[in-house]
Chain A
Amino acid sequence: SQQGEEDPQALSIQEGENATMNCSYKTSINNLQWYRQNSGRGLVHLILIRSNEREKHSGRLRVTLDTSKKSSSLLITASRAADTASYFCATASGSARQLTFGSGTQLTVLP
């Protein structure tokens, strides 16, 4: 079963605009991670946010975490065509020694 669920399932924006993707999860977590997957490739780790953190930045990426709402958001600023990919959130819960992935958001950035 999926722990994290991304919203929206698909998002299409113009180059230069910001893209926001959301992830909701069901149980308490230790950390939440975001990954990117380009078509036909493996997933690439983007950023990790721990349960005691509320916001984290990495380049054009900004991740927020609201543990009271069991939700996270990934913001990509000033998007580029090269950002076109699927984005997945993944959660690590309790004593679990593995990640559970959501079903992903397909982002298309139009030039």
Chain B
Amino acid sequence: NAGVTQTPKFQVLKTGQSMTLQCAQDMNHNSMYWYRQDPGMGLRLIYYSASEGTTDKGEVPNGYNVSRLNKREFSLRLESAAPSQTSVYFCASSEAASGRSGGYTFGSGTRLTVV
């Protein structure tokens, strides 16, 4: 099984450009999440989808939008990229909300640089 697949792995954007980060899981998980990881700050939640058809804001949602396309796919969109959005982005999924039955499965990340 592939688990959680994120594309692309690396991306360089110019300020003001837009892009969509893709995430897909093949474990039939109900919940999916987008986190960003910055040095010394751990992971911060951007958006999550507790179940298909629902999305909710996390700790740092400004500048981002999400789409839960179907049960497998959860995309993150940057409409107008800013240097402050330079970060490593992780998608994760879990069978039950908050990973209470078995934890989260993470993708390998997207390293985004905005210049």
Q: Does A30 contact B (CB under 8 A)?
A: yes
CB distance from B40 to the nearest CB of A (A): 6
Chain A interface residues (CB < 8 Å from chain B)? 1-2, 30-31, 33, 35, 40-45, 48, 88, 90, 92, 96-104
Query: Which of the segments B11-19, B64-72, B76-84, B99-107 contacts the partner chain?
Result: B99-107
Residue in B44, B45, B59, B90 whose CB lies within 8 Å of A42: B90
Residues of A within 8 A of B97 (CB): 97-98
Q: A42-B108, A98-B48 are in contact. Are A2 and B42 (CB under 8 A)?
A: yes
Is there an interface contact between A97 and B106, defined as CB atoms closer than 8 Å?
A: no
Residue in B4, B48, B105 whose CB lies within 8 Å of A97: B48
Residues of A within 8 A of B40 (CB): 103
Which interface class (under 10, 10 to 19, 20 to 34, 35 or more) fits B?
20 to 34
Is there an interface contact between B99 and A33, defined as CB atoms closer than 8 Å?
A: yes
Is there an interface contact between A96 and B90, defined as CB atoms closer than 8 Å?
A: no
Chain B, range 73-115, C-beta contacts under 8 Å to A: 90, 92, 97-100, 102-109
Interface SS of chain B: helix, strand, loop or mixed?
mixed
Chain B interface residues (CB < 8 Å from chain A)? 4, 31, 33, 35, 40-45, 48, 50, 56, 58-59, 90, 92, 97-100, 102-109
Closest A residue to B91 by beta carbon equals A42
Closest A residue to B45 by beta carbon equals A98
Q: A43-B90, A45-B102, A45-B105 are in contact. Are A100 and B45 (CB under 8 A)?
A: yes
9 A-B pairs with C-beta separation under 8 A: A30-B100, A31-B100, A41-B108, A45-B102, A45-B103, A92-B100, A96-B98, A97-B31, A98-B97
Is there an interface contact between B100 and A1, defined as CB atoms closer than 8 Å?
A: no
Q: A88-B42, A98-B33, A104-B42 are in contact. Are A45 and B99 (CB under 8 A)?
A: yes
Closest B residue to A101 by beta carbon equals B43
Is there an interface contact between B41 and A103, defined as CB atoms closer than 8 Å?
A: yes
CB distance from A36 to the nearest CB of B (A): 11
Residues of A within 8 A of B50 (CB): 97-98
Residues of B within 8 A of A40 (CB): 109
Docked complex Cα distance between A99 and B44 (Å): 10
Is there an interface contact between A92 and B99, defined as CB atoms closer than 8 Å?
A: yes
